[in-house]
Amino acid sequence: MRKTLLSGVIGLTFLLPSFAFGAIEILIDQPEDHRFPIAVETIKKGEEFSGSTGMLKKISDVIRHDLELSGYFFVIKPSIYKDRSNALDAASIPWQAWHAIGARGLVKGMAMTQGGRTTIELRLFDTATTEMQMGKQYTFDRDDWRIIAHRFADEIMLATTGIRGPFATRIAYTVMTKSSRMKRWKQIFVMDMDGANVRRITKDNSYNLGPAWAPDGQHLAFTSYVEGFPDIYVVNLQTGQRRRLTANQSTNITPAFSPDGSAIAYSSGQGRDMEIFIMSNIGSDDRAFAPAFGIDIAPSFSPSGNEIVFASERGGRLNLYRYAVSGSEARRITFSGAQNDSPDWSPDGTRIVYTRFAGGKYDIFTINTDGSGLRQLTSVGSNEHPRWSPDSRFVTYSTTLGKKTHIYFMRFDGAHKTLLTKGKDASLPDWGPWPSDYWN
């Protein structure tokens, strides 16, 4: 079965052979010190390959790096591999060589050139059963090699854990920049989830902050001061076209798309306090949501779109509340800490991640959606604005250590904290969805 992915954008094609064997199983909640040992060979050149061997090494390196980033795999160093053969079929692989270095999983690949494009076949083997667990074949243009690496790493996660990995996704965030006159502005950037392939989205002399992904992965909502008042805008990432959605001469912040992309919830000062409002994704049909005395900020939709969790002072200190979009009594779900803020509902619907202020700094916590099961995920530095990955296994957030703020991510249980940004101050991350063509 042949499918065209990202048609008209990058010219990437994807073939799905009927490969599905083996029995590797990795538990989602396995401790970080029980990582699965896997070897990823550098992709070999086939007889008909006329491309760059450097590209093949880079693809292999990105796959290794992705698996290490996940916190679920221990990637064995290629320098100790004892099998140097080109064999891709299980019967020809010297399994004793891989058993000798402790590999439990094995990735092998072969490349060839067809009509000026590269075709790579990649296979995942279970060394215990000596069977192939999964195989994919990709035909792509030279500049798309990074996408191929991320997608196969996603497939490895799917084959071994039952849930697709987040490696082909992107993270949007805010960066402090300087103009030629040494003024400081804030701009929206996007990067791959591993911190590579950084792209600047806004380029004006203003403050642009708090990006929020649309479900289609092609639009971002954010707050901008470009017209004076902080208003909500939406930008098309392919065309760069920007639309202003609010113009009420007030403060409008913390936008969040509904799961179907048809609506945006945000906080606005157009009422007596900062309140939550909901509007369509083109800025029409604006209505107040769960108004009450005290500020209401930072809304996040449930995966069904039927409820919103938000931070509110209606009970005194800032706490988290759930409220049905159709209207109901607001239900408080946090009862400790001086300031509970910036909630995000996990895509699988089971947990809410948020920040809490205590001891002069912020830390990140998760709770079940009913407020039970409190778990603290961070303790070093001041940690803010947590956002789930689309597979609900990872959280991106910003950490301030000293004078610098950077973007990190970690596993859902707080393990495997990983720095993503370097250099300029970066904050307010939001984790984008899987590419829509994954599900075609």
pLDDT one-digit tens code per residue, 238-254 = 999 999 999 999 999 99
219 token code pair = 């639009």
Greater confidence, 329 or 73? 73
Confidence label for 256 from pLDDT (cuts 50, 70 and 90): very high
Supply the pLDDT for residue 165. 95
Confidence label for 18 from pLDDT (cuts 50, 70 and 90): very low
Q: How much is the mean pLDDT over the chain?
A: 89
Confidence label for 191 from pLDDT (cuts 50, 70 and 90): very high
Burial of 99 (0-12, 13-18, 19+ CB in 10 A): middle
Supply the pLDDT for residue 214. 97
- pLDDT > 80? residue 278: yes
- pLDDT > 90? residue 286: no
Cβ-Cβ contacts under 8 Å for 401 (sequence gap 6 or more): 380, 381
Supply the pLDDT for residue 9. 30
Global pTM reads 0.91
Contact 105, 133 (CB under 8 A): yes
- pLDDT > 90? residue 355: yes
Supply the pLDDT for residue 403. 85
- DSSP, collapsed to helix, strand or coil, labels residue 55 as helix
Contact 261, 305 (CB under 8 A): no
Mean pLDDT (whole number) for 260-284 = 89
- DSSP, collapsed to helix, strand or coil, labels residue 60 as helix
Confidence label for 4 from pLDDT (cuts 50, 70 and 90): very low
Distance set, CA 177 to CA 64, 193, 402 (Å): 32, 21, 18
Confidence label for 289 from pLDDT (cuts 50, 70 and 90): confident
Supply the pLDDT for residue 182. 60
**Tens of pLDDT, residues 101-122:** 999 999 999 999 988 889 999 9
Q: Do the bridges between strand 170-178 and strand 131-140 make them parallel or antiparallel, or are there none, so unpaired? A: unpaired
**Tens of pLDDT, residues 317-340:** 999 999 998 887 789 999 988 899
What φ, ψ does residue 221 adopt, rounded to 5°?
A: -100, 145
Report all structural domains of the chain as residue ranges with CATH numbers, in order of start.
Answer: 2-161 (3.40.50.10070), 170-439 (2.120.10.30)
Supply the pLDDT for residue 20. 43
Supply the pLDDT for residue 390. 97
**Tens of pLDDT, residues 396-420:** 999 998 889 999 999 999 999 999 9
Mean pLDDT (whole number) for 86-93 = 90
Query: What is the helix, strand, coil percentage profile of the chain, to 5?
Result: 15, 45, 45
Output the CA angle 249-250-254, nearest 5 degrees: 130
Place of tokens 């779109």: 305
